[in-house]
Amino acid sequence: MRPEDILIVNDGSPFLKTIGLLLADKGYRTCVTDSPVEALAELTRKYFRLVIVKLPGKTVDSPALLNAVQDLNPEARLIILGQDARLPLEAFKLAVDDYILLPCRPVEVWRRITGCLKALRRAADPEAIQGKLNSTNGRILTKLSLLFHDLRGGLV
């Protein structure tokens, strides 16, 4: 299995840089940026499976970055860190996988990130995909057989 690509948008604090180093040590490919502008450049250049954004507050670039994550990587998981009173309203309107309200313990942040990565691995499991495909095909076959039975009845 290929390791997930992770983009970490930091606000200059050493906390998320340390998280990025820990994830890289675990075998994940990480990219840590210090501004939303750098993150937008990385998003246009590469596909990321997980994006962790620490929002510094109500800045102009923050909503644009969050919308770009949804537009450029629609299947990417998104985790937002920030203080509740300082988060822009757009952050609460997006489909986000996790909100981490600061201040909190570093262990809690690590637990939520690893939980999101485990969910990514489960979603990429070929057996799980084949199981979903088989159940979907079964439902489609049932609906088609009912449809053709109704058509045949009308013709007879």
**Predicted pLDDT of residue 59:** 54
Q: How confident is the model at residue 82 (pLDDT cuts 50, 70, 90)?
A: confident
**Predicted pLDDT of residue 57:** 58
**Predicted pLDDT of residue 33:** 86
Per residue in 35-61, pLDDT (tens digit) is: 788 888 888 888 888 888 887 655 555
Per residue in 95-112, pLDDT (tens digit) is: 677 777 778 788 888 888
Residue 79 has pLDDT above 60, yes or no: yes
Residue 1 has pLDDT above 50, yes or no: no
Rounded-to-integer distance, Cα 55 and Cα 80, Å: 7
Give which of 4, 8, 31, 5 is closest to 81, Cα–Cα.
8
Rounded-to-integer distance, Cα 75 and Cα 65, Å: 16
